Amino acid sequence: MELLIPGLILVALMVWASTKIKKTAADAFEPEFIETDVYSLQKPVGFLHVIGDEDHEFMAYSKDFGKGDNVGTRQATIEIDVLRGDDVDAVRDSTTDSAESFDITVDTPALSELNTEETANESSVSAFYKIVAADNSVFRLRFAVLPEHKDDYLRRIDDTLDSFTIKTH
C-alpha cells in the first residue's frame, strides 16, 4: 500500500508531462507570424521554423514526408537567403540557370517572382521564388515542394509569397 500511492502520483505526473509535451509539439506546426528587424513572413500551418539555422536566414520544413522514392524527404521547405552585393537580375539569372525549366511571373528592377522545376539533393522539386532588393542586399525566398504534392501546397505557397515583405529603413 505504501508503494501504491507514490506509484499513482508518478503515473499521473508522467501522463501530465506527456500531454504537455504533445501539445507543445503540435503548437510548433501552427501558423506563425515571423517578424525580424529586416523582414516579416507568415509561416503556414504544418511547418516547423528551424531556429538558428546556419545555412539560411530563415528555414522551415513541413511536418509530412514524401512517399515512394522520396521517403525521408520533407514534402516542402521554405528558405530565406540574404545575398549581399548582388542585384535582383543577377540572383534571378543564377536561379534560372540552375533550373531545369522556369516561368518568370513578375520581373521589375526591385522584385522578381518565378516558378522553377529543379533538382535538389537528388530529388525533383517545384520551387517558387520571391526575390526582393533592399538596401545593398537581395532577399531570396524559396518555397520548394515535391512535385506530387504541389497541388496540396498551392494555397500555402501563395499566402507565404504574398506575406513576405522587407522592411525599409
In tens digits, the chain (169 residues) has pLDDT values of: 677 777 777 777 787 767 776 666 666 678 889 999 999 999 999 999 888 889 999 999 999 988 888 888 899 999 999 998 888 999 999 999 988 999 999 998 899 999 999 987 778 899 999 999 988 899 999 999 999 999 999 999 999 999 999 987 5
Query: What pLDDT, on the 0 to 100 scale, is given for residue 30?
Result: 83
CA angle 140, 152, 131 (to 5 degrees): 10
pLDDT at position 4, please?
73
What's the whole-model pTM score? 0.84
Cell numbers 528558405 correspond to 79
Pairwise CA distance, residues 70 & 61, whole Å = 15
